[in-house]
Structures are given as structure tokens and as C-alpha cells.
Amino acid sequence: MGKLIGYIKQYIAFVKKEFNGYSKNVKIAIYVMLFFTAGFFVFGIQILFWGLGYTDMSNFYPFGQWIIGDLGLVGLGGGAFTTGFLLYIFRNDKLEPLISSTVLIGFLCYLFTFVFLVFDIGQPIRAFFIYMYPNWGPGLMPASMLTEVAWCLTFYFLILCVELTPVVLKHKVLDAIPVLKYIGHYLHRLMWIFAAGGTFLSFFHQGSLGGGMWDVMYGKASWFRAHHIYFFVVIILATAGGTAFMTLCAYVAGKVMKKEVVPKETFNSIAKVSGVMFVVYFAARLADVILMGTSWVPLFDRSYLSNLGGYYGLWMIVLEFIFIAGAIVLLLVKKFREDEKTFRLGIISGVMVMLTTKLHVVLNGSSVPNFPWKDFIGYNPTIQEWFIMLGGLSIMALIYMWFVKYTPLFPHVEQHGHHEGEAKAAE
């Protein structure tokens, strides 16, 4: 018992020492995240044991606030498969310093997609039904979009677990064990296979969860698209907005650490990829809006603009295209991309495109009445929904901080610091 108390005291002293090493602003941020994390567990237990009556869900809004987190995290996590595909298949070696960070972010995004789904489905004890009793159609084709989404999400998440393993095994304690060091090295050599498989799986579930799940709803004038172009639109957005998010996370990590975590040429390379994909996304999204206005919404004897009322209407579409324009200009024009301030605005604009798009799909689509003579409906998330959403994001941020501090997530930091040490010694 005395030894146990001693270990606890040592651990507490270690935590205090580590915490005191942070700056004042980082300490405040950690306090805020711990506050939301505590709320996540308290209200999470309440939702799981007492049901979805503590949310604002209804027959009009059957998804709730968490589905926005699911769609947003999956879309932003799409930057992981894009970066891995460019590095391991197209051999863009400039992205090597960023790959460990992108794999971790992709892992966290998909992990908390499952976490939010646990709350969203209402009866998590039946979550295994999607695997035990999948709704397959003839010829092994899924008759349910949810079946395809769940299976693709699961398989890609398992691939991310494998891709993350070498990063974890690079920890100085684990790296000292010869067997684990060999396993990590061998997995790294096979990573191109997992990158290709992950891209294949992510391609389908990005399209099905972000687009196909909505445009097949022929009873909703705000979602239905007979051409299913939206399936491909969201795939393009995942490559554009996801890479911007991966860049933003690494950029923020560098600012917090006050170090160069990634070479400037790496940032320039991935920012250029993101900018090019936003050009493609702009063309695809514009075509989608035009076809909705001229072909598909009129099938319901309504106009496209009539679906853009309520709280989440026309202004969200306009805001989305403003952010698209900002991302294209600031990430593709060389002088803007190489200037830190405009570069920062560019990647933030790219992330905001993803957020505004997902908000518009869920909130506006659900708010549009099925009949034109009825009023638009609003959604007011309860405190339980806010704490579960923000608490989940806070846990993601804390895990990412832990990896940055205790694993070689950014190898460039060690190399850069080593070279600086050599230069000082030479002086």
C-alpha cells in the first residue's frame, strides 16, 4: 500500500512539473478543455442511461447536433487518406514530415465519429447489429446506405490503427525494445499498401456518408439529386478541406511549441494541393447548385431559393462560396501562400468551407418543410448536446497534445533542433 501511495505521489509530481512547463495561454486552454471533458462524461452518462429525450431531436430533426460532428470529422479526416496517397503512391516526399500528424488526426477524427454515433443512434447496446445483421441486398450490394457507411468506416478505421502503430512504437521506451522496433520498421515499409486500401475505402464512405446518404432521399426537395453528383462533390471536398485541416493542425502545433515542426516547403506543397482541389470543388459545387435549381428542386413544384429560407438558408451558401474563393486565392497564388498571415487565412478558409457545407446540409436540409405552406423549423441544441460535442473535440485536442509532446510526431523538430545544437557548438 505504501509503494502504491508513493507511485501516486510521483505521478502527481510528474504531472505538476509537466503542466507548469506550459505557457499561461496553453494552461488556460487546457483548463477549458478539461472542463468540457468533465461535462462530456457527466452528460454522456445521462444520455446513455436516460435516453435522447435530453436532446432537441424530433421527427423533423432526427439526426441532432452530433451528426454535424460525424460529417465534419469524417470530411476533415479525409486529409489523412489524401496525404498518405500523395506520399506513398505518388511519391511526393515533401509530405513526409507531415504524415505522422495526419495519420493521428485521421485516427482521432474517425474514432470520435464512432463516439458521436454511439450517442446519436439512441440504443448503443444494439450497435453491433450493423455487423451481425447487415442489410445486404442481392449480389452482395448493400441495400442500406448505413450498412455501407458503417462497414467502410470500420475497415478504414482499422487501417488507420495499423498506420498509427509505427508512430506509437517510435516512443523512446518502445523503440528500445528490438522486437517492437522491427515491427514498426516493417509496417512502415508496407505503408503504401495500407495507403492504397485506405484511399479506396475512404473514397466510398466519404461519398456515401457525406453525399449519397442525403441525395437518395426523394421525399426531401432540399436533398434529393437524381444525378447523385453530390456523392462525388463531397469526395472532392474531403481532399480539399481535409488537407487544409491537416495543415492547420500542424501550423497551430508549431505556434504552441514555438518551433518549426514542418519545413516551409512541406506547407507550400500541401497548401498547393489543397488550393487545386478547391478549384475542382468550386466547379463541382457550382454545377450541383445549378442542377438543383434547374432540374431537381422543380420536380417538387418548388424553386431552389424557396428552400433557402429559415435560419440556415441563403447566407450559408453565400458564406460557403466566399470561403471557397478565399481558399483558392490565398493557397494558389504564390505570394499569398508564402506569406504567413495570408497562408494562415487560406487554410482557415479551407476548413471553414467544410464546416459551413456540413452545417448547411444538416441544418438547412432538416429545416425545410416537406410542404411549401408550412414554416421552416429551427434546432436548439441542449446543454447536453453542446457538452458532448465540445467535450469530444477537447479530448481529441488533448490526445493530440500528448502525442506531440511524448512521441516523435514531427521528426523535423528533432532534426532541426539537432542542427541548431551543432551550430551553437561550432560557434
Per-residue pLDDT tens over the stretch 381-398: 999 999 999 999 999 999
Domain count, the chain: 2
Q: What does pTM read for this prediction?
A: 0.89
Residue pair 87/94 in contact by the 8 Å Cβ criterion:
no
Which range of 16-30, 71-85, 292-306 scores highest in mean pLDDT? It is 292-306
125 and 232 in a single domain? The answer is yes
109 and 48 in a single domain? The answer is no
Q: What is the pLDDT of residue 248?
A: 94
Please report whether residue 11 resides in a domain.
no
Query: Alpha carbon 208 to chain centroid distance?
Result: 16
Identity of the amino acid at 344:
R
Q: What is the pLDDT of residue 427?
A: 45
The lowest-confidence range among 86-100, 121-135, 237-251, 372-386 is 121-135
Domain closes at, from 54, 74, 92: 54
The boundaries of the domain holding residue 41 are: 24-54
The lowest-confidence range among 104-113, 237-246, 372-381, 410-419 is 410-419
**How confident is the model over 100-136, as pLDDT tens digits?**
899 999 999 999 988 888 887 777 777 788 888 777 7
345 and 201 in a single domain? The answer is yes
- Count each helix (H run) and each strand (E run) in the chain, helices first: 18, 0
352 and 211 in a single domain? The answer is yes
The lowest-confidence range among 195-204, 228-237, 291-300, 400-409 is 195-204
75 and 34 in a single domain? The answer is no
Classify the C-alpha dihedral 172-177-179-182 as positive or negative: positive
Which of the four pLDDT bands, split at 50, 70 and 90, describes residue 213? Answer: confident
The Cα 307–Cα 303 span in angstroms is 7
Q: What is the pLDDT of residue 426?
A: 41
Please report whether residue 399 resides in a domain.
no
Percent of the chain whose predicted confidence (pLDDT) is above 70: 94
The Cα 327–Cα 309 span in angstroms is 27
Average model confidence (pLDDT) for the chain? 86
- Report whether pLDDT(2) > 80: no
Please report whether residue 198 resides in a domain.
yes
Which of the four pLDDT bands, split at 50, 70 and 90, describes residue 425? Answer: very low
Identity of the amino acid at 223:
W
Which of the four pLDDT bands, split at 50, 70 and 90, describes residue 258? Answer: confident
